[in-house]
Structure 1
Amino acid sequence: MLIEERLDKIKSIIEANKSATIEFLSETLDVSKDTIRRDLIKLEQQNVVRRTHGGAVSANREAMILDYDQRSSRLNRIKEQIAQKAAEIVKDNSSILFDSSTTVEAAIMQLGNKRLYAITNSLTHAKLLAKLEKAEITLLPGKLHKDQLFLYGSETVKKIEQYNTDYTLLGVFALSKDGVFIHTEEEGLVKRQMIAQGHHVIALADHTKIDTTGFFKVCSLAEIDVLVTDQQPEPQMMDYLNENKVEVIVANEQRGEK
């Protein structure tokens, strides 16, 4: 394979997934890790990628916008790892606001036999919560988003204002030093109110969501208590998180440790 052809393949992989590890690229393209490292240096010089520890991310840090089916089928194993860690934080006999993200959906399936009072704006989440024997569920009112299957609008936000919950489980579309972002105001306003009503805000974000941005700002970093992710954020991003007193929990796929 010619070097230009290989560089094009690396670009395509990283653009499609927003990131890739050196190990994955090496195995996929059947070349050495040293070759991949040199290729990533070239692509970084072209401002196509940004190298990270163990791999690279797309230099375009605008987060991807996907519909519900696309989101639910993406990074499932990583979501499960993050979900397990999030579920460990939640104490028995708790009240929880669940937003409509698919990573939060994965967390629901890890809650097991905990006694919960659950409030959500997601049709799919309500259906999953109904399978938990000890869960009492409230489905928020509002307008139905037909593609994403969540309820939104002024009626939804006003209803959320009536609650004071132990936790808010928040799926992250994009997170940067400036805070948490989403691609639509309608969903962002619902998430914002859920954050305001939760005593302990647990944000769930795989590594592709970190150091990205979106159209509508949901909250500042200081409004998050815990960030559960699958890879340690870059040092500069960790500095911002530490400055805002955000506890970072990393779900390590190999060892299952923080």
Structure 2
Amino acid sequence: MLGLERRQKIMEKIRLDRKVYVSELAKSFKVTEETIRRDLEKLESQDLLRRSYGGAVIAESTSDELSYTRRSTINSESKLAIAEKAASLIHDGDTIMMDSSTTCQALLQRLKGQRDITVITNSIRLMSDFTNSGFKMICTGGTMRESSCALTGSIACQTLSKYYVDFAFISCKSIDLKKGIMESNESESRVKSVMMQQARKTILLVDHSKFDKTAFVKCDDFEHIDTVVTDDAPSKEWQEYFSEHHISLIF
């Protein structure tokens, strides 16, 4: 296993368990403890975790926000798997809204062969990365949040409210059976809510690490979600919840 892949696995574990131990990781990956310590040192230098005696703890709290660059390196394999599954839902001629998530970026990359698609987004990165993609791109405008390259505020929401689309594709920071869909900040949460209201169907793209977690701001309940696309089978409790609320589950 390459070092990069091993560090991605370490981050997946620490996001699930909130802490890791050097000895356990060494046994799990069949490498020396010194190798794991170097991995943790590298991850700490990227501000992804904090080393402690015998291991490390996750660096972020419920209100912490990861930069777009940092988010793009976390669970990258999961995002590609989700993008592959979600792409089958979109056909030529569809109109879609996309938030500023790195999962949406992976999805749009997967859709490059489908040219007759209209994309409305509040993401500066999507507007820049797919300028020559053949898609019809519409930017919301608004106030830019540097950490996420997202446009937010009243202008972004007003622009979105003028359009009605086939699908809204959104991601989030965490989901919980009782608390609903959550984000790390209110301004982006509001944009996602408007996207959900303006779409015929809303698709939630969420990897396994975001289930049963809590973030700072409640974005919405699951009543506006039609389909959840994830990378691994969620718990039986989640599967029963989605079934009871008539939410399609793709994993």
| Band the TM-score falls in, shorter-chain normalisation | 0.7 to 0.9
Q: What letter matches 1:153 in structure 2?
A: G
Pairing 1:149–2:134 present = no
Equivalent-residue separation in structure 1 for 2:108 and 2:12 (angstroms): 30
Q: 1:161 offset after TM fit, Å?
A: 0.5
Amino acid at match of 1:66: L
Taking the aligned partners of 1:131 and 1:180, their CA distance within structure 2 comes to 33
Cα RMSD (Å) of the superposition? 2.6
Matched residue, 2:15: 17
Contact (CA 8 Å) 2:174, 2:183: kept in 1 or not? yes
Structure 1 stretches lacking a partner, 5+ long: 1-11, 32-57, 251-258
- Deviation string 1:144-165 (CA, Å, 9 cap, x unpaired) is 1112111000111111110100
Q: Does 1:234 align with 2:235?
A: yes
Match of 1:253 in 2: none
Alignment check: 8 A CA contact 2:63 2:185 kept:
no
Structure 2 residue 134 is the aligned partner of structure 1 residue 137: no
Aligned partner of 1:79 in structure 2 is 79
TM-score normalised by structure 1 residue count:
0.74
Give the share of equivalent positions with the same residue, in percent.
26
The aligned counterpart of 2:250 is 249
Q: Is the 2:176–2:213 Cα contact (8 Å) retained in structure 1?
A: yes
- 1:69 maps to a residue whose letter is T
Task: State whether residues 109 and 128 of structure 1, in contact with CA within 8 Å, keep that contact through their aligned partners in structure 2.
Answer: no
Give the superposition deviation at 1:112: 2.2
When residues 227 and 13 of structure 1 are mapped into structure 2, their CA distance, relative to the original with a 3 A threshold, is closer
Equivalent residue runs for 1:44-59 within 5 Å: none
For structure 2, the residue ranges without an aligned partner over 5 or more in a row are: 1-9, 33-57
Structure 1 position 169, deviation (Å): 0.7
State the SS of the aligned residue for 1:109: helix
| Cα distance, 1:204 vs structure 2 | 0.5
* TM-score normalised to structure 2 length: 0.76
Q: Partner amino acid for 1:132?
A: S
**Measured at CA, do residues 157 and 13 of structure 1 come closer, stay the same or move farther in structure 2, by a change above 3 Å?**
closer
The 8 Å contact of residues 61 and 211 in structure 1, kept in 2 or not, is answered as no
Is residue 27 from structure 1 mapped to residue 33 from structure 2 by the alignment? Answer: no
Q: Given the superposition, is the C-alpha separation of residues 13 and 84 from structure 1 closer, same or farther in structure 2, using an over 3 Å criterion? A: closer
> Which residue of structure 2 lines up, in the alignment, with residue 48 of structure 1?
none
| Alpha-carbon distance, 1:91 to partner | 1.4
Q: Within 2, Cα distance between the matches of 1:131 and 1:242?
A: 40
Residues 175 and 182 of structure 2 are in contact (CA less than 8 Å); yes or no, is this contact kept in structure 1?
A: yes
Q: Whole-Å Cα distance in 2 between the matches of residues 104 and 197 of structure 1?
A: 18
1:244 Cα shift? 1.6
Aligned residue in 2 for 1:163: 163
Alpha-carbon separation, structure 2, partners of 1:90 and 1:197: 17
Aligned to 2:99: 99
Q: Which runs of 4+ in 1 moved over 6 A?
A: 12-15
Q: Does 1:110 align with 2:107?
A: no
Cα distance in structure 2, aligned partners of 1:65 and 1:174 = 12
1:65/1:240 Cα in 2 relative to 1: closer, same or farther (>3 Å)? farther
Q: For residues 61 and 186 of structure 2, what CA distance do their matches in structure 1 show?
A: 19
